[in-house]
């Protein structure tokens, strides 16, 4: 019997294309996010903060993100069905999501909510965060709770999520964190309670200060582009000297972050987010983001010449 030929649904393919196109139109995030500050590689956070590349995702990843947001709403509804549980996902003082800001507005975070009345700790308010993961990752959290105890499980399970947890506890003034983690479709949920860790929160805040105010990328987690963390990083090409960064003010030699925003030192002016993304004709690359080495420059900064790693000479600016 002949095999039924595979086919592609052109309508669904168009849906995927539209999702990807809409994501490409989104503006880069203008701040360093608390949710990512615990990532293993600080260098990738510096690249993200400086808009070296605008992260691009395929349709499957975008659908996964959407599913995570949907599961958060579903889990909130389920928690509220328990008598005695109070779950706040909106700050009653502002009418918006609970949000925190530090380091001149360059570090920001928005937590899912705070919860009171958990049966296992009825008198304590907890920061609440929800994560949607695959079955394997959810099972690993259950295993770690058994092996290491609930209070130590989150840090061992995911250092990025742990960093987010301790920062939200630090900024909210709460000393407990309640994580719920659901598998696809919300069919299975595992939880984890964690205590505040002010020492680790202080380390992360110092890390954020270094990332924000450093003029050059921080030390890479590896010099090997095939290292398992580097291999899947969206900044691999820039980090390992194989490609130019996307041109914008944040990677310009004349621009720097200050408390409350960004300034252009060449024209002595503050820059809006829109102006940062647009750039100008006087743009000169931060030398640390050129895939080569500087060999010459004009005294007035009108041009800078580099020998690229591919052997060619390249001049940034007018002759």
Is the Cβ–Cβ distance between 113 and 89 less than 8 Å? yes
Does residue 66 sit in the same domain as residue 201? yes
Q: Which of 213, 232, 262 is the last residue of a domain?
A: 213
Does residue 78 sit in the same domain as residue 189? yes
Does residue 195 sit in the same domain as residue 257? no
Does residue 155 sit in the same domain as residue 263? no
- Which residues form the domain of 126? 27-213
pLDDT of 25 reads 66
Q: Which of 169, 193, 213 is the last residue of a domain?
A: 213
Tell the residue number behind the tokens 């001149």, with chain if given: 104
* Spatial distance between the Cα atoms of 176 and 145, rounded to a whole number of angstroms: 16
Number of domains forming the structure of the chain: 2
Structure tokens at 17: 């294309």
Q: Which of 190, 213, 236 is the last residue of a domain?
A: 213
* Spatial distance between the Cα atoms of 254 and 232, rounded to a whole number of angstroms: 31
Does residue 32 sit in the same domain as residue 137? yes
Does residue 158 sit in the same domain as residue 273? no
pLDDT of 22 reads 83
pLDDT of 65 reads 83
* Spatial distance between the Cα atoms of 279 and 289, rounded to a whole number of angstroms: 16
Structure tokens at 31: 């701040």
Does residue 186 sit in the same domain as residue 277? no
Q: What tens digit of pLDDT does each residue of 248-266 get?
A: 999 999 999 999 999 999 9
Does residue 268 sit in the same domain as residue 183? no
Kindly give, in sequence order, each residue whose CB lies less than 8 Å from that of residue 173, ignoring residues fewer than 6 positions away. Answer: none
Q: What tens digit of pLDDT does each residue of 83-107 get?
A: 999 999 999 999 999 999 999 999 9
211, 172, 215, 289: which is closest to 33 by C-alpha? 211
Secondary structure string (H, E, C) spanning 66-127: HHHHHHHHHHHHHHCCCCCCEEECCECCCCECCEEEECCCCEEEECCEEEEEECCEEEEEEE
Per-residue CA distances from 198 to 163, 171, 251 (Å): 11, 10, 33
Structure tokens at 39: 């990532």
Q: Global pTM? A: 0.90
Instruction: Give pLDDT < 50 ranges for the chain.
Output: none
Does residue 60 sit in the same domain as residue 197? yes
Kindly give, in sequence order, each residue whose CB lies less than 8 Å from that of residue 266, ignoring residues fewer than 6 positions away. Answer: 254, 282
Structure tokens at 87: 């779950």
Kindly give, in sequence order, each residue whose CB lies less than 8 Å from that of residue 190, ignoring residues fewer than 6 positions away. Answer: 138, 141, 142, 145, 180, 181
* Spatial distance between the Cα atoms of 9 and 165, rounded to a whole number of angstroms: 42
């Amino acid at each position: 019997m002949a095999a039924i030929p595979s086919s592609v649904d052109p309508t669904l393919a168009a849906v995927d294309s539209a999702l990807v196109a809409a994501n490409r139109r989104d503006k880069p995030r203008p701040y360093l996010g608390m949710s990512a500050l615990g990532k293993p590689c600080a260098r990738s956070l510096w690249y993200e903060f400086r808009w070296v590349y605008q992260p691009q995702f395929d349709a499957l990843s975008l659908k996964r993100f959407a599913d995570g947001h949907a599961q958060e709403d579903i889990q909130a509804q389920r928690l509220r069905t328990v008598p005695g549980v109070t779950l706040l996902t909106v700050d009653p003082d502002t009418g918006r999501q609970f949000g925190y800001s530090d380091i001149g507005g360059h570090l920001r975070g928005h937590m899912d909510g705070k919860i009171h009345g958990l049966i296992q700790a009825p008198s304590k308010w907890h920061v609440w965060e929800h994560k949607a993961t695959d079955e394997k990752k959810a099972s690993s959290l259950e295993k770690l709770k058994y092996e290491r105890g609930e209070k130590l499980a989150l840090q061992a399970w995911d250092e990025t999520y742990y960093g987010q947890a301790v920062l939200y506890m630090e900024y909210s003034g709460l000393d407990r964190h309640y994580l719920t983690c659901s598998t696809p479709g919300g069919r299975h949920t595992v939880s984890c309670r964690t205590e505040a860790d002010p020492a680790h929160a202080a380390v992360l805040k110092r890390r954020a200060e270094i990332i924000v105010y450093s003029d050059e990328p921080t030390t890479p987690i590896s010099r090997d582009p095939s290292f398992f963390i580097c291999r899947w990083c969206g900044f691999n090409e820039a980090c390992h000297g194989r490609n130019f960064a996307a041109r914008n003010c944040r990677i310009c030699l004349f621009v720097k972050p200050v408390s409350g925003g960004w300034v252009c030192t060449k024209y002595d002016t503050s820059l809006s987010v829109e102006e940062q993304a647009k750039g100008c004709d006087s743009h000169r690359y931060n030398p640390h983001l050129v895939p080569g080495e500087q060999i010459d420059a004009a005294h007035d900064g009108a041009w800078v010449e580099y020998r690229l790693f591919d052997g060619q000479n390249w001049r940034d600016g007018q002759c």
